[in-house]
Each structure stands twice: as C-alpha cells, then as structure tokens.
Amino acid sequence: MVLTNAEKQRRYRQKRDADPFKRAEHQAKCRSKYQQDVAVGKLKHINDMTHREQRRQRKEWKKKKIAERKRKANNHAQILTPPSSPVPGPLVHVPDPTPQIGLHNTRRKKRRIAKCYRDNMKLKDQLEAARRLNQKLYVRLSRQRKNSPLMKCPDTPRTKTNKLLRNWNTENRKMKGSRRNRRKMKNKAKKTLMFQLSLSDELKTKYGQAKRQQQKYLAELTQGRLLKKYKLIDKAREELKMKAGTTRFKKGSLSYRLEPKIFEFYERDDNSKITPGMKDTVTKNGVKKQRRILNDTVEKLHEKFLIENTKYKHNSKLHNI
C-alpha cells in the first residue's frame, strides 16, 4: 500500500530520532535557526515580548504541553495493556476499500490545496504592489500640492488650530489625568484657539476694508493696557497687519524740526489770507481754526520757503498737497 506524505514524514522522524547523533545534530540545527530568527527579528524572546504577547505565547505552550502529556499517557496505557485474547469464530475476509479511489481523492485534495496556496501568494503580491503604488502616488500628489500655487488655499482658523494641536496625543498614558479629562482639555484648547484665530482674521478683514479714520480706531485696540503689560503690541500689529498710527517722528529728525516752521510759514498773512465767514472753520483733534486760502501757488511758496531757509535747501523737497 502506498504511504501518504504524513506517514512518510512520521517514519522519517522516527528513524532520525532513533539515532542519537542524528537527533543531536537536528536539535543543534533547530537551535541555530531559532537564534538566527531572533537576531533578524523574525522571532522574539519571551522577555522581549509585550504582556499580551507573553500571555498568548504561554497559552499556546500550555495547550501543546497538555496534548503532549495526553499522547504520552495514551502510549503508556497501550504499552501496559495486554493484548486481548482472540475471539473464536469463522475467519471472514473483509475486503479493503479500493485504494485507487482513495489515492485519487488524496491527490485531487492536494492539488486543490496547492492551487489555493498559489492563488493566495499571487493575491499577496498584487496587494503589496497596489500598496506600493498607492504610497508612490500619495507622495507625488503631496509634492504637487506643495509646489503648485493653484493647489494652495489659505489656511482657515480650523486648519491652523489642527496644525497647532497635531502633536497633542490624548492616548499617551504618561500625561497626567484620565483620558476623558485629557480630551476635555484638548477640546477646550481647540475652541479657545479657534476663537482667537477667527477673531484675528475678522479684525484683519475689517481693517483692510475700513477707511483711514476707522483704521485708526481699530489700531487703538492694539494699544491696550494688557497688551502693553505682556509686551504683545508688536505681535498684535504683525498678526492683524495694522499700520495706522505706527509711524512716529524722531525728536532729532529733520521732519520733526521743520514741521512747526512750515505751519508758521503758511499761516503768515503774506502767504495766506483768513476767510471771514463764521462757517469757514476747520476742526481737527478738538481744535477749531478759521479756514485760510493761499495767496500763491504751492511751487512758488516752496521756492520762497527755500530762500528764507537756506540751510534746509538741499533737504526740503516739494510734496503734493
């Protein structure tokens, strides 16, 4: 009768284990292979595993040990049990089942199993190829988004908040508090950041659309007591893009020294005349003054000012009024 694969392997193992030298050689080979797998990282030592992996491994060892003990007990019982006495009776020849049909079915089953293994390996290769292609296309798309100006869109307050809180991991057990409290803290920080960024964008938009006088009123918001206390005035102006009220004259500058002389020059009676009407007034910064009309063009008055102030001749330039 033809032996099956399992029977052949069982006979080979029995023959090998019967020879002590071959058995020792086989065990040494198994130990070296195990050490190589551990060095490569294919297998782990029990001390290097996590608690969950250790429990799973010990459970498998326990099952194998129970099966081994049961098998040894059965073998021991069979050895100690005496053979049963033969039952007298007529000898009946029981024909064996057709070996050819059984062998044919076994080969067919093996072919099906081998085909399943081949199909499984093909599917694994296709899956790995698809995964590599997906990763390559993802990297290519992210690079195009980064370099293409058409793909770039302005960051919203939500995207800015998510970028700032990207590395806040609520699942980290080293952080203080329970996971629920850590999530509450993150949500609270997220809402606060989103409110601050939304308010900043809204003020920036309003400031860009406002007129000059309204821009001055909005710029006064960045000169509060708390912002001065925590030294955040420059940061607020930078974030809100506010420029109104930021220009200051230095006390030793030429503009600072020329300004009162220019006012005095224009208010002289030989350069301008005052209007007599009661309604011909101008109010600026709470100061009410009568309106004046120039007696000559600005170009000629500028030449006259340069003649009277010779030391400012090269620095005083005519500006359009």
Confidence of residue 50 (pLDDT cuts 50, 70, 90): very high
Let me know if residue 112 belongs to a domain.
yes
Q: Which of 85, 117, 149 is the last residue of a domain?
A: 149
Q: Give me the mean pLDDT over the 161-174 stretch.
A: 74
Q: Specify the range with the lowest mean pLDDT, choosing from 156-160, 238-242, 249-253.
A: 249-253
Q: Answer yes or no: is pLDDT of 39 > 60.
A: yes
| pLDDT tens-digit readout, 65-122 | 999 999 988 888 877 777 776 656 555 555 555 555 566 678 888 889 999 999 999 9
Q: Give me the mean pLDDT over the 46-65 stretch.
A: 93
Q: Which of 115, 149, 183 is the last residue of a domain?
A: 149
- Read off the amino acid at residue 67: A
Let me know if residue 74 belongs to a domain.
no
Q: Given this model, what pLDDT does residue 321 score?
A: 46
Greater model confidence, 200 or 91: 200
| pLDDT tens-digit readout, 117-150 | 999 999 999 999 999 999 999 999 888 887 776 6
Q: Given this model, what pLDDT does residue 260 score?
A: 86
Distance CA 254, CA 316 (A): 9
Q: Given this model, what pLDDT does residue 58 score?
A: 95
- Phi/psi of residue 294, nearest 5 degrees: -70, 145
Let me know if residue 240 belongs to a domain.
no
Q: Answer yes or no: is pLDDT of 259 > 60.
A: yes
Let me know if residue 34 belongs to a domain.
no
The domain tally of the chain equals 2
Confidence of residue 60 (pLDDT cuts 50, 70, 90): very high
Q: Given this model, what pLDDT does residue 251 score?
A: 59
Q: Given this model, what pLDDT does residue 234 score?
A: 83
Arithmetic mean of pLDDT over the chain: 82
Let me know if residue 292 belongs to a domain.
yes
Let me know if residue 40 belongs to a domain.
no
Host domain of residue 274: 254-312
Q: Given this model, what pLDDT does residue 246 score?
A: 54
Q: Given this model, what pLDDT does residue 245 score?
A: 54
Q: Which of 132, 149, 166 is the last residue of a domain?
A: 149
Q: Answer yes or no: is pLDDT of 294 > 80.
A: yes
Name the DSSP letter for residue 19: S
Q: Answer yes or no: is pLDDT of 315 > 60.
A: no
Let me know if residue 287 belongs to a domain.
yes
The pTM score is 0.34
Please give the full DSSP string across 29-88, using - where no structure is assigned: HHHHHHHHHHHHTSS--GGGS-HHHHHHHHHHHHHHHHHHHHHHHHHHHHHHSPPPPPPP
Q: Give me the mean pLDDT over the 237-252 stretch.
A: 65
% the chain with pLDDT above 90: 22
Q: Answer yes or no: is pLDDT of 215 > 70.
A: yes
The tokens describing 82, both together, are 């005496």
CA 265, distance to chain mean position in Å, is 65
Let me know if residue 137 belongs to a domain.
yes
Distance CA 228, CA 222 (A): 9
